[in-house]
Amino acid sequence: MIEGIKASFLAGLCAVIGVVPMLFVKGISKRIISGLLGFASGIMVTTSTFNLLLPAIHRDSLWKVISGIVVGFFLMLAMEVFVPHLHADQAYSKGPNRNLLKAILIGAAIALHNIPEGLAIGVGYGSGAASIGLVLALSIGTHNIPEGMVLAATLLENKFPKPLVFLLSFITGIIEPISALIALISIGFIHSFISFFLAFAAGAMFYVVFNELIPECHDTGFKTTATFGFLLGIIAILVLEKIVGVKV
């Protein structure tokens, strides 16, 4: 359990790593943003498919896997509808009070994204296959770096103070180890449903990718760049899995 918490904490901290360089540059182009978001999407889709869905299918019945995907997907949809939040591209504001209010709402949006990521890491370590948990943590951490860069660039462009941007990324990163802990505890009580939890995490991450990341990288107007970024994300995870030696 401790290894899973540590790994999820470091994965969440990677968002802060992505933010730091953006505090010292004027900004990044929309083409680069599109490529980074595409790269992050490729990582998430590949990781969810190979390290969550395939192990789930190999472990148990198909109906448990399908039900897990559906529940994870619709839970994220429900949270998207009912939890007050604001995406970074809606962040423009003037004045410290408006900045603070919008920062809280943007933090809620990031937290929604980080919940399934933390759950995935926790489920990976709870599955009993340490290599799956490790590659999930490394994959999500790698995904969090460009996502943190894009978030920081957007907020700084909209005149948010640098300390607030840094603090926001750090606080929301804590959501991942908390989610991982919840997953690890839950699996400890209901270990027979581990395939359901694996598929649940995959369904939740699929929702985030197709509802948020892909539309955002297309909105920049550089779809081809985003597509190549997506391809590079897939390749990066396949290489990572080969290095780590994941066996589903």
Task: Tell me the pLDDT tens digit for each residue of 82-96.
Answer: 776 666 555 554 544
For residue 42, what pLDDT is reported?
Answer: 93
**Are 41 and 231 spatial neighbours (Cβ–Cβ below 8 Å)?**
no
Candidates 34, 32, 11, 45; CA nearest to 234 is: 45
Does the reported pTM lie above 0.75? Answer: yes
For residue 97, what pLDDT is reported?
Answer: 47
- Angle (CA) 129-131-135 rounded to 5° is 130
Whole-angstrom distance, CA of residue 84 vs CA of residue 92: 17
Mean pLDDT, the chain, whole residue set: 83
Q: How many helices (H) and strands (E) does the chain have?
A: 11, 0
Q: For residue 233, what pLDDT band results from cuts at 50, 70 and 90?
A: very high
For the stretch 21-77, pLDDT in tens is 988 887 788 898 899 989 999 999 999 998 899 988 988 788 889 999 999 999 988
108: left (phi over 0), alpha (psi -120 to 50) or beta: alpha
Locate 141 and state its tokens: 């951490």
Helix (H, G, I), strand (E, B) or coil at 159: coil
Candidates 8, 31, 40, 9; CA nearest to 148 is: 40
**Are 163 and 35 spatial neighbours (Cβ–Cβ below 8 Å)?**
no
Helix (H, G, I), strand (E, B) or coil at 92: coil
- Whether pLDDT at 103 is above 70: no
For residue 161, what pLDDT is reported?
Answer: 85
In the chain, the amino acid numbered 224 is T
Candidates 56, 188, 40; CA nearest to 114 is: 40
- Whether pLDDT at 99 is above 80: no
- Percent of the chain at pLDDT above 90? 20
Q: Calculate the alpha carbon distances from 97 to 94, 211, 212 in Å.
A: 8, 29, 27
- Whether pLDDT at 232 is above 90: yes
Q: For residue 133, what pLDDT band results from cuts at 50, 70 and 90?
A: confident
**What is the 8-class DSSP label of residue 210?**
I
